[in-house]
Chain A
Amino acid sequence: MPKVKIPTPLRQYTDGSSEVEVGGDTAGETLGNLAAQYPDLRQHLYTGDGKLRSFVNVYKGDEDIRYLDGPDTEVLENDELSIIPSIAGGRCRNF
């Protein structure tokens, strides 16, 4: 099964695991299965309407899946996906 690497802030929701094996044929399906396996992860990965949060980055190997086929990126048996945060903020709201 493909492996998913979990960043430090999310390991509290994966029983402390830094790497989890999850079934799936695409990146989107694999992440969905991961969230199903660890339901407390869901709100930190997805927005209320089920889209991946903008600051949640998913890499297949060293490539951002946004530059591959997005959630439809094919994932093979020995592939490794990494969830990588981007860190953003700022003092004002929307202007």
Chain B
Amino acid sequence: MALRIGAGDVGHIHDHAKEAYPEECAGALVGMDTGDMKIVVDVWRAKNTHEEDRGRRFLIEPLQIKEFEERTQEQDMDLLGFYHSHPDHPAEPSEYDREHAWPYYSYIIASVGKDEVEDMRSWVLKDDRSGYEEEPIVFV
């Protein structure tokens, strides 16, 4: 499956990643799953509530996820996945990411430097949790 995302939503992720730098930012990818493709129609910012080191970690609280689930249902959309940034680090999932990942969700990672986002890639956890598969992003 591929992930389709528009320039406006990509811009929002870039802005969030740059504003949060040097901390990690995170948010939700919302839209429709057609069975062949996940189509992002909106991105929602989440609060990174990790208590120790937000430069290397992010956490979205369950109550925020519950609210996202309810909002997407009200709007007849799906919660497709999440984005987060890796400040000064490649757009590749870490072992820590894998241990905490859920199946199905798309995980967009934006590699962000001091001034700009250098790379953005999307990943999906394999069913057996052994690793990730890269998911093609279709930019529109």
Contacts and interface: CB of A to CB of B under 8 A. Distances in A.
Nearest to A18: B73
A71 B118 CA distance: 44
Given A9-B104, A92-B96, A93-B94, A87 B65 contact: yes
A92 B56 contact: yes
Nearest to A55: B100
Decide if the interface of chain B is mainly helix, strand, loop or mixed.
mixed
A90 B129 contact: no
A84 interface: yes
Interface in B86-111: 86-87, 89, 93-97, 100-105, 107
A85 B60 CA distance: 9
Contacts of A93: 94-96
Contacts of B57: 88-90
Contacts, number: 94
Interface of B: 24, 26, 46, 50, 53, 56-63, 65-66, 69, 78-79, 82, 84, 86-87, 89, 93-97, 100-105, 107, 128-129
A44 B46 CA distance: 23
Interface of A: 7-10, 12, 43-44, 55, 57, 59, 64, 82, 84-94
Centre residue among B26, B57, B61, B66 by max chain A CB count within 10 A: B66
A87 B79 CA distance: 13
Contacts of B104: 8-10, 12
A87 B60 contact: yes
A93 to B, nearest CB: 5
Contacts of A94: 96
The 9 closest A-B pairs by CB, nearest first: A90-B57, A9-B104, A89-B97, A57-B62, A91-B89, A87-B60, A9-B102, A88-B100, A91-B86
